[in-house]
Amino acid sequence: MNAADDKTIVKDYFNSTGFDRWRRIYCGGEVNKVQLDIRNGHQQTVETVLNWLQDDDLAGMSVCDAGCGVGSLSIPLAQAGARVYASDISEKMIGEAKRAVAELANTDNLTFAVQDLEHLSGKYHTVVCLDVLIHYPQEQAAEMISHLCSLAESRLILSFAPKTPALSLLKKIGSFFPGPSKATRAYLHKEADVVKILNSQGLTIQRQAMTRTRFYFSRILEAVRT
């Protein structure tokens, strides 16, 4: 399958069944036990990243949230004072994010746009990309990471499902991201490969964390320019 096909599948998924599923997981409402576990895991990832970001003075800091989904990170980040440019390949996800933000105060510093991260341009103090790489095989993920590095003046924060022997086995037996999310493939990435790409683009790892619940696994890396 070529890169364009992969992307079309992901885009279509997040504009249809994937949108319904992930909106429920991310935005609250009735979910089953697996989805509740994933919701809790994802929330932990968002909180870890928010805590890291809040260690710096957020007032006016420019942040690009690539593949922002329904704005789970972008919205609290903007409310904390950062200037946030948030984009996603899915119109439906962005529509939901805009709907959520319309009801909130202090969000003039937040922009949502429908955009494939490959087409992002400009420079940002910090670029964040959470739980997006899981939808792409290694080669495409490598290109995406390099592109995100080129947008980051000071820092890139990435999260991905790590390719460990235990997770590879879980994936094989179908316990990893079970249920309808199998409509898209879930790709695991070797941490060493991700770090190598970051290093080749002049960034070094400053902090790392791991979110692990029963069905949700996300390795979080903060890479900075030195």
**Residues of this chain that bind ligand SAM (CB under 6 A):** 7, 10, 14, 22, 26, 67-69, 72-73, 88-90, 93, 116-117, 130-132, 135
Tell me how far, at minimum, the Cβ of 226 lies from ligand SAM, in Å: 26
Tally the residues of the chain. Answer: 226
Residues 146, 196 contacting (CB under 8 angstroms): no
**Contact residues for 11 (Cβ-Cβ < 8 A; gap 6+):** 89, 90, 116
Q: Side by side, which strands form the sheet with 83-88?
A: 110-114, 83-88, 62-66, 124-129, 152-160, 217-225, 203-212
* Cα–Cα separations (whole angstroms), residue 157 to 9, 63, 199: 25, 10, 13
CA atoms in the 13 A half-sphere facing the CB of 191: 17
Tell me how far, at minimum, the Cβ of 9 lies from ligand SAM, in Å: 10
> Smaller CB distance to ligand SAM: residue 26 or 187?
26
Residues 81, 58 contacting (CB under 8 angstroms): yes
Tell me how far, at minimum, the Cβ of 206 lies from ligand SAM, in Å: 20
Minimal CB distance residue for ligand SAM: 69
Tell me how far, at minimum, the Cβ of 207 lies from ligand SAM, in Å: 18
> Smaller CB distance to ligand SAM: residue 58 or 117?
117
> Smaller CB distance to ligand SAM: residue 37 or 116?
116
Tell me how far, at minimum, the Cβ of 175 lies from ligand SAM, in Å: 18
Nearest Cα neighbor of 192 from 224, 221, 217 is: 221
> Smaller CB distance to ligand SAM: residue 119 or 192?
119
> Smaller CB distance to ligand SAM: residue 139 or 199?
139
